[in-house]
Amino acid sequence: MDKFNAMQVFVRVAEAGSFTAVANQQNVARSMITRQIAGLEKQLGSKLIVRSTRSLTLTTAGAAYLERCRVILNMVDAAETSLSEEKVEPRGRIRLGLPLSFGLQRLMPTLAEFSKLHPHIQLSMDFSDRRSNLIEEGIDVSIRITANLDPSDIVRKLGACKILTLASPDYLAQHGTPKHPRDLQNHECLAYSMDMKPANWIYEAGGSNFNVPIRGRMMANNGEALMKATAAGIGITRQPDFIAQPFLDAGEVVEILKKFAMDPLGIYAVLPSNRYIPHRVSVLIEYLSAALKS
């Protein structure tokens, strides 16, 4: 058995917490992954993973071996990348997680240009607004728009976007213009929601944040759909500037409650923890950062 390959498999299994997830990533049978780990344990003469019906747990020896494996694999990756960078342009596959609307509207033109400049890099793009598990899903870098990063997240800030409160002129003429966020409780509000549960909108006043419970007959997990409903006069919505801008430019909606707006959300490139960052991924992040800043 190739011990180096077995070490790679062990690290992936330990980080993903699943034999099945790693087998799916490598497009092999789960039994093959299990045999590799069993063979590694036999060679080392030590149990590394305790298996149960629902989870995997590292033994004390397994946890110590994991940290040593990470150091070794990162050093090998760094050495190989350093040599390849001197000889050839970036190459290889990048698995990229992208938020749906921002990815389509703002990032796809930039990614198309990046692809022209780097023909030896393959981009595998997953468009979704859900928060993905980078290690478990084998994603090299994920673009997230958020105000709430996990302390464990490894990130590079690429930019920022504002969240705007919006309504059509016709709706405001018929129902009046809210002067304070509390007035929204008397209006139809079109909420973005991934889980389709009732939402609160957060605003800022006097240096502190406050929640406003909202009501409405329509919610969706797609901001552009809600913008179209808002432009049609159905109600009031809150959306990021990159979704709202075409509707603002066309005069179909106007911004309200400006003085209560929250601070902009950060746009981040989020990277898997405890991994050497391949040169091709670094090149992509630098390109996206320059494009978004411009």
pLDDT at 2: 76
Domains (range + CATH), the chain: 3-86 (1.10.10.10), 88-161+266-293 (3.40.190.10), 163-263 (3.40.190.10)
* Sequence-distant (≥ 6) Cβ neighbours of residue 212 within 8 angstroms: 181, 182, 184, 185, 200, 201, 202, 203
- Which residue's entry shows tokens 């502190």? 208
Q: Which has the closest alpha carbon to 196: 174, 226, 172, 240?
A: 226
Burial pattern 157-186, b for ≥16 Cβ within 10 A else e, equals ebbebbbbbbbbeebbeeeeebeebeebee
Q: Facing residues of 138 across strands?
A: none
Q: What is the pLDDT of residues 140-193, one digit of tens each?
A: 999 999 887 777 778 889 999 999 999 999 999 999 999 999 999 999 999 998
Q: What is the pLDDT of residues 62-94, one digit of tens each?
A: 988 988 888 788 777 766 666 655 456 788 899
Q: Kindly list the distances between the CA atom of residue 292 and the CA atoms of 113, 159, 163, 267, in Å, as whole numbers in the listed order.
A: 13, 6, 17, 9
Q: Report angle CA 140, 65, 93 to the nearest 5 degrees.
A: 20
Main-chain dihedrals φ then ψ at residue 81, nearest 5 degrees: -65, -40
Average pLDDT over residues 47-56: 83
